[in-house]
Chains A and B, each alone.
Chain A
Amino acid sequence: MATKNPIEDPMIDPRTGEYAVIAPGHNFKSVTQKIASIVLTSNTPLGWFFGLMVGGAVATGVVIGCTWLFLKGVGIWGVTIPGAWGFAIINFVWWIGIGHAGTLISAILLLFKQTWRNSINRFAEAMTIFAVVCAGTFPLIHVGRPWLAYWLFPYPNTMNVWPQFRSPLAWDVFAVSTYATISIVFWYVGMIPDFGTLRDRATMPFAKYVYGMLSLGWRGSTRHWIRYESASLLLAGLSTPLVLSVHTVISFDFAVAALAGWHTTIFPPYFVAGAVYSGFAMVLTLAIPIRKFYHLEDMVTLRHLDNMAKVMLATGSIVAYGYGMEVFMSWYSASHWEFFMMWNRMFGPMWWGYWMLILTNIAIPLTTLWSRKLRVNVGYLFVLSFIVNIGMWFERFVIVVTSLYREYLPSSWGTYVATKWDYMLFIGTWGLFTCLFLLFVRFLPIIPMSEIRMMLPQTKITRGGKTAETVSEEMS
């Protein structure tokens, strides 16, 4: 959609010249009806079934890939020595990075009082949880004997063996399990009042029953709301350092190792920025079709898309700085190994990975996102969101593979070639993610109704409780 003359476009606030966060003319009832009807309708759109079918078909890749893996072992993958870390780690970092934007939107933007985030908050959080599900699959299945994956946790056992807490891989277990748990609690707590609304608006007895149970009997009492607001703020305050720590710990998996290309102090901030970058791209990938399909343009407006594109521009620039610093340090460190690592990345046998990353992560997004016209061009943003996520996948590929396959001793050099099982599992997780997301869209409130109500002008309190009618009565 092209930018119209601000005076004619009703979506533009005449005072600020910005796109409105919520279209004018809405009231408490209309926003509630609009969002609740997506869930409570008895006519499931055919497109939804089609999407679920495609997603389910793709997700069978996970089932088949895991079954064969459990039967044969990790030898079916392309991992080998020296390339001992392959797709499993790349995909793990990629997926969990995608999840981070959800927490950023739900927690950090809440603390910064960015109310525009209210409309995209719920499905961004859902995206987080489903991305963590996809991410968590990979470390669990790559441990070699996945049926013993619970050994990762400190639990009393007859072997008298305990985890080794000086290893970043043990930190990962704590970071990712905490992240998954807190994200689910935050998500669920956020939905309790909306479940109350759905319970009260549902007509089917079964829906009333299920949403009633999920709402825990929420009745909107003011004392409950105050405690609820405290808990939300606290969870946001806790999620903020959590999300930063999770990707920091993941970067430690690399940075603590003494390998050229991994052993750098810039990894934590640049991993976190990259995570947010790819996560916002994924929010755009999801938000753009949803607002179109369910006609939510009034609540997920161009303002949201514009703001998300701006966040991508900022985090993308941090990522670009990270890449630049890596190149600079490979020269400035005067380390032969560092220099060779960078030369090998750029011009070695896997040069295409590095230049693909530069093209899709830096060259295309960071030149175009400066233009406001393109930032509010829905079609362009949709395409760009895919480009950035391809770029972020290549970033992890470059970090994991090109650092490993030609390390210190030339005699131990090798290469890395992913097998069809690697691809099947990776593509399968896209299907898993799509299925989970479609189920969420159909059965849970995709936009937080209570938070949208708070953004409406009708919430303004006039002292003395005088409405227009009471004032005129008093006058007479």
Chain B
Amino acid sequence: MPRKEGIYGLLAEFNTPSELVYATEEARAAGYRRMECYTPYPVEEAAEALHFHKNRVPLLCLLGGLMGVTTAFLMETWMSVWAYPLNIAGRPLFSWPAFIIPAYEWTILFAGLSAGFGMIALNGLPQLYHPVFNAPNFRNGATTDKFFLCLEAADPQFSPSGTRAFLEKFHAVSVVEVDH
């Protein structure tokens, strides 16, 4: 992939989550779509403003859980009935009630690993480099106490001067250009 160059977007910094949410809602109303908020803790209202409602982490978790229960139960059945049949106190070889317990544990194991690593994968992490880190004020604030809105240059609505003027309406602490 060729190295991207030029401007990635405009990053507006806000002091409070309310200002961020308001600016995001207005940007969405003005037709911006390629944008993202950066906050030091989860702000659900910002996600609503971005119209980001659904994520696929629960689906991955469910699939992982189903895979876990199937794997464990079939594995136990195969091992106890065919691979290594043992007479344990006269119990049937297919003593399924006893198999439930390891199957239950592996349901949780697979589902939990799918939820954890699925979240990381869907987020595109690990991604140690991202253009927003180039903003001089980003790292001092986004993980501590500041709220950022980034309108990206890939958006058809975007124009360096017009978008800047638009963002400045919302009393942002600063609006800085972020390069790739």
Contacts and interface: CB of A to CB of B under 8 A. Distances in A.
Nearest to A454: B41
Interface residues of A, number: 75
Given A225-B43, A238-B112, A216 B126 contact: yes
Contacts of B40: 28, 32, 197, 220, 450, 453
Interface string B140-155: 1011110000000000
A465 B23 contact: yes
Contacts of A223: 36, 47, 50, 52, 55, 123
Contacts of B115: 230-231, 234-235, 238
Nearest to B109: A178
Contact of B21 (A178, A234, A241, A465): A465
A30 to B, nearest CB: 9
A200 B171 contact: no
B21 A217 contact: no
B101 interface: yes
A8 interface: no
Interface stretch (B1-9, B83-91, B157-165): B83-91
Contacts of B75: 154
B104 A245 contact: yes
A441 B75 CA distance: 41
A225 B47 contact: yes
A162 interface: yes
B83 A160 contact: yes
Contacts of A454: 41-42
B180 interface: no
A231 B119 contact: yes
A226 interface: yes
A160 B84 contact: yes
Contacts of B102: 165, 170-171, 174
Nearest to B132: A219
Contact of A185 (B55, B95, B113): B113
Interface string A217-241: 1111111111111110011001101
Interface string A229-273: 111001100110110010001001000000000000000000000
B16 A242 contact: no
Contacts of B50: 222-223
A464 to B, nearest CB: 6
Contact of B127 (A162, A165, A217, A231): A217
Interface residues of B, number: 76
B168 interface: no
Main secondary structure of the interface of B (DSSP, over half): helix
Contacts of B42: 222, 225-226, 228-229, 450, 454
Contacts of B113: 181-182, 185
Interface string A17-41: 0000000000111001000000000
Contacts of B95: 166
Contact of B143 (A171, A197, A226): A197
13 contacts: A29-B144, A162-B84, A167-B88, A174-B102, A178-B109, A193-B41, A220-B38, A225-B39, A228-B123, A230-B115, A235-B116, A252-B101, A466-B22
Nearest to A453: B41
Interface stretch (A299-307, A311-319, A392-400, A455-463): A455-463
A182 to B, nearest CB: 4
Given A166-B95, A465-B22, 13 more contacts: A28-B40, A165-B98, A166-B98, A174-B105, A216-B120, A220-B143, A230-B115, A231-B116, A241-B104, A245-B108, A463-B22, A465-B19, A467-B15
B57 A230 contact: yes
B108 A182 contact: yes
A189 B104 contact: no
A222 B86 contact: no
A165 B108 contact: no
B58 A234 contact: yes
Contact of B123 (A167, A224, A245): A224
Across the A-B interface, give the 6 residue pairs with the lowest CB-CB distance, nearest first: A465-B22, A28-B145, A231-B119, A216-B126, A225-B42, A162-B79
Main secondary structure of the interface of A (DSSP, over half): helix
Which of A154, A162, A197, A227 has the most B CB atoms < 10 Å from its CB? A227
A224 to B, nearest CB: 5
Interface in A23-79: 27-29, 32
Contact of B38 (A165, A222, A252, A453): A222
B179 interface: no
A207 to B, nearest CB: 14
A213 interface: yes
Contact of A227 (B15, B55, B99, B170): B55
Contact of A165 (B17, B76, B111, B120): B76
A175 interface: yes
B101 A450 contact: no
B147 to A, nearest CB: 9
A242 B142 CA distance: 35
A460 B17 CA distance: 8
B119 A227 contact: yes
A233 to B, nearest CB: 9
Contacts of B123: 221, 223-224, 227-228
Contact of A216 (B20, B88, B125, B144): B125
B116 to A, nearest CB: 4
A466 B9 CA distance: 25
B30 interface: no
A384 B126 CA distance: 44
A467 B116 contact: no
Nearest to A33: B144
